[in-house]
Amino acid sequence: MNSFGQRFKFTTFGESHGKALGCVVDGVPAGIKIDEVFIQDEMNRRKPGGKYATSRKESDSIEILSGVFEGYSTGTSICMILFNENQKSRDYDNVKDLFRPGHADFTYYNKYGIRDYRGGGRSSARETSARVAAGAIAKMLLKELDIKIQSGICAIKDISIPNEQLDFSNSTNSEVYSLNSSYDDKFKDAINKAREEHDSIGGIVALKASNVPIGLGEPIYYKLDAILSNAMMSINASKAVEIGDGINSVLENGSSNNDEITKDGFKSNHSGGILGGISNGDDINMKVYFKPTPSIFKSQDTIDIHDDELKCELKGRHDPCVATRGSVVAESMMALVLADMLLLNMSSKMSNIKKVYN
């Protein structure tokens, strides 16, 4: 299952150490101005490098193969490709037959009976680069409607920025994508400490979509919150999702949890901008929880494909905290879901259909 979406639909292909990765985005309306520099900028936000991510060098330079003519989408499928360049497959020779604890090796091998052990193959988060390319196209559609998505890190392990102090303008200037500049150093120290201890660390991504129109989401089984959660949980290492106040809403009463309504809008936003699976016009607020990176440089017990017990000793280059780069992926998935919901919502009323055909 390598495709996602109903009307604005994308498929990704490729493996971590294969020749190339890419995506095909289908259902893109004709006439969207396609800004190739923006697509590359998005790729660069996700790509490895910097002091707080893996030192793997991936240029992630993206090429558009189809669906764009003279700078505009043509309404046909947009295919984009990035070639793998700096893959060090030898780093994985010693894990060829064994299952890395916390990674997908055990389940992929047992399910398929074959696995590309080089970098994890299809289970590697390298696949998320293709989603970011697809997400950039979705963002260009959203931009035409002034819908904006922002994201960043609101917690690393137990160091957490209070909700009222989240500053979504900070993450683009922060090496660790933090949502408050006064937390930058605390987050960096925690990531560095994990790396120095040959370990890894988890984190939480907060997301905000603003200027979202009322009406996005297709109850019952394609509710906006359900599909956003599906999208986020499809990202590697994501382990939980919250919409609005999320799990904290159980600590409230109806009187404090309800968002009272005035003719100028809602008085609060505990719901995260979604009611009954449909956007209510308020900001959509979400959180995505990422576990610590499975690949660590400590010796761990495991078994191999022959069921022999042995020690897993890893080499190679790995992110000490995947939540940081994961925030860009989560943002892309949110854009892809909203683009799909925008197109789906257009046929919800006869009056909309008449606007097109009368």
Ligand X SMILES: Cc1cc2nc3c(=O)[nH]c(=O)nc-3n(C[C@H](O)[C@H](O)[C@H](O)COP(=O)(O)O)c2cc1C
Nearest distance from C-beta of residue 317 to ligand X, angstroms = 7
Among residues 116, 319, 331, 340, which is the contact residue for ligand X, using CB under 6 A? 319
Nearest distance from C-beta of residue 238 to ligand X, angstroms = 6
Rule CB under 6 A: say whether 292 interacts with ligand X: no
The helix (H) or strand (E) run that includes residue 216 is none
Nearest distance from C-beta of residue 157 to ligand X, angstroms = 16
Distance CA(50)–CA(176), nearest Å, equals 9
Peptide bond into 220 cis (omega under 30): yes
Rule CB under 6 A: say whether 122 interacts with ligand X: no
Rule CB under 6 A: say whether 235 interacts with ligand X: yes
Where residue 106 falls (left for φ over 0; alpha for ψ -120 to 50; beta otherwise) is: alpha
Considering only residues 46 through 105, tell me which ones interact with ligand X, judged by CB under 6 A.
54, 103-104
Rule CB under 6 A: say whether 325 interacts with ligand X: yes
Residue least distant from ligand X (Cβ): 295
Nearest distance from C-beta of residue 106 to ligand X, angstroms = 10
CB closer to ligand X, 215 vs 294: 294
Q: Applying CB under 6 A, what is the total number of residues that bind ligand X?
A: 20
Tell me if 321 sits within 8 A of 200, measured CB to CB. Answer: yes
CB closer to ligand X, 200 vs 279: 200
Q: Which stretch binds ligand X (CB under 6 A): 168-176, 229-237, 265-273, 339-347?
A: 229-237
Q: What count of Cα atoms within 13 Å lies in the side-chain half-sphere of residue 315?
A: 10
CB closer to ligand X, 103 vs 195: 103
What are 218-222's contacts with CB under 8 Å, separation 24+?
218/277, 218/341, 218/344, 218/345, 219/276, 219/277, 219/278, 220/277, 222/6, 222/277, 222/344
- C-alpha separations of 62 from 4, 65, 105, 284 in Å: 20, 10, 28, 30
Rule CB under 6 A: say whether 326 interacts with ligand X: yes
Handedness of CA 175, 179, 184, 188 (dihedral sign): negative
Nearest distance from C-beta of residue 53 to ligand X, angstroms = 8
Nearest distance from C-beta of residue 304 to ligand X, angstroms = 18
- C-alpha separations of 153 from 60, 216, 289 in Å: 23, 26, 10
- Note the residues at the interface with ligand X (CB under 6 A): 54, 103-104, 123-125, 128, 235-237, 291, 293-295, 318-319, 322, 325-326, 329
